[in-house]
Amino acid sequence: MFGLFRENVRIALSSIKAQLLKTILTIVIISLGILALVGTLSGVDALETVFGGNFDTMGSNTFNIQRYELQISTGNGRREKINPVISYNDVRKFLDRYQYPYTQTATSFRATRSAEVKFENQKTDPEVQVYGANEHYLSNTGSLVEFGRGFTIFDIQNNSKVCVIGSDFLKGLFENDNPLDKTISIRGVKFKVIGVLESKGSSFGNNQDLKVVIPIQVARGIYTQPNINYTLAVKVDQNDMISDAQDEAVKVFRNVRKLQPIEENNFGIQRSEDLINIISDVSSYLKVAAWIISIITILGSSIALMNIMLVTVSQRTREIGIRKAVGAKRSTISTQFFIEAVVIGQFGCALGIVLGALAGYGVAKFYEIDFNVPWAAMFWAVVLSFLVALISGIYPAAKASKLDPIESLRYE
């Protein structure tokens, strides 16, 4: 049994070599469908991972008060509604008035994304992000201190020249040194390093590990540009109180902005859970689109495969007659042609999986996110390619097995 199967595979490969151009075109068509499926699904999985696991501005059980609900612009690049920045006066008034129990509020702003940090006679490229923040910023944003410590209320109240740095500094300025208690310089101001953050990786080119966090008042003294936009991050200790805490925060901030009851909010509220839901919805649409594109492409490939198998039957009519004349059964003939279709389908599957995985890997590297091997997508790719071969090979195989041996031997 195994010997017969091996012989049929050998004959299938010989037939493929005899019709190389047609076979290659069919394999390419099949691989395009598999490429669309594997590439899109692996890319979507990577995006879900990075968005689900890395929010550099939000931690668990936290909601943000920020300038806009979501950073989405209209087609012409302009916003339909321009909200005022969240000023420091807004921040101070909110902190004075918001007294909801079991909450703590972090205030922060990004002072720059192009700072140059110096240590002794070394310096970084001008691509370091500097944040000004209060003592709750690290815990509210889910930033963990790997070693050292974070800010205390005394650091913030006393405007201490201390800082917490990202883990990438261990690969650069402090590759051979322990950074704790070392002094770095930002814009000529010296800061003592008190802590190093755990790595959070990169998201779409935004390196979350190449940053320095300093006390908020110190940052305001160094970076004095107008219209600085602040972010308020409120962390709620008990999950069942998040909605009420958020409603209270909206009411307080509306009072800070002096909005009338009929006026819409001119600020945004954003929760990590809301972002995860949005990403989940988007990824679902992308997955559906990937399946639709793949099915359409694979439908075309099945027609192409059926066509090449029918041509093969016509071209090998005399061969089929000789095989039947020497005793080959109908099942043997049909199995031979069916295996040819399966072999072509699996070649297309293998090529599509390789191209799809490379496409997903390329997207992950381009956006600087982790790439996971799309095992589920590969499994479905194998299943789909086998179904294509099954559907496309049945009719040509049946037609070949039904040929009359006498007529086949007379065929020129």
| Of 54, 79, 52, the residue nearest 68 (C-alpha) | 79
Query: Could you tell me if 119 and 249 lie in one domain?
Result: yes
Those residues with Cβ within 8 angstroms of residue 359's Cβ, 6 or more apart along the chain or in another chain: 35, 38, 39, 42, 43
Same-domain status, 167 and 215: yes
Bridging pattern class, strands 211-215 and 128-133: parallel
Q: Which domain holds residue 243?
A: 84-266
Same-domain pairing of 306 and 197: no
The runs of H, that is alpha helices, within 19-104 are 20-53, 88-97
Quick one: 250 and 312 in the same domain?
Answer: no
The answer on 318 and 260 residing in a single domain is no
77 located within any domain: no
> In this structure, what token pair is assigned to residue 392?
């496309």
In a domain, 352, yes or no: yes
Q: Is residue 71 part of a domain?
A: no
| 25 shares its domain with 92 | no
11 and 126 both lie in a single domain: no
Q: Is 283 a member of any domain?
A: yes
Q: 194 and 343 in one domain?
A: no
Residue 70 lies in a domain: no
**Position 73 in a domain:** no
Tell me: do 210 and 298 sit in the same domain: no
From the list 96, 385, 35, 384, the residue with the least C-alpha distance to 232 is 96
At 97, the amino acid letter reads: R
Lookup: tokens for 64: 């943000």
Q: Which of 234, 266, 298 is the last residue of a domain?
A: 266
The reply to whether 360 falls in a domain is yes
- Token couple for 190: 């010296």
Tally of residues, the chain: 412
Same-domain check for residues 286 and 254: no
Among residues 266, 301, 320, which one ends one of the domains? 266
| pLDDT tens across the length of the chain (412 residues) | 566 667 666 766 777 677 777 778 778 877 877 787 777 777 677 666 655 554 444 556 889 999 888 654 444 555 567 899 999 999 999 999 999 999 999 999 999 999 999 998 889 989 999 999 999 999 988 888 999 999 999 999 999 999 999 999 988 888 888 999 999 999 999 999 999 999 887 655 567 889 999 999 999 999 998 889 999 999 998 888 888 999 999 999 999 999 999 999 999 988 766 666 776 777 778 778 777 877 777 777 777 777 777 777 776 677 667 766 777 677 777 777 777 777 888 888 888 888 888 887 777 777 666 677 777 777 877 887 777 777 777 777 677 667 666 565 555 5
Number of domains in the chain: 2
Residue with tokens 């972090």: 106
Residue 109 CA: distances (Å) to CA of 60, 125, 133, 149: 20, 21, 7, 21
Give the dihedral sign, CA 306/312/315/318.
negative
Question: 147 and 235 share a domain?
Answer: yes
Number of helices (H) and strands (E), helices first, in the chain?
Answer: 12, 14
Within a domain: 282: yes
Last residue of a domain, one of 210, 232, 266: 266
Tell me, yes or no, whether 48 and 178 share the same domain: no
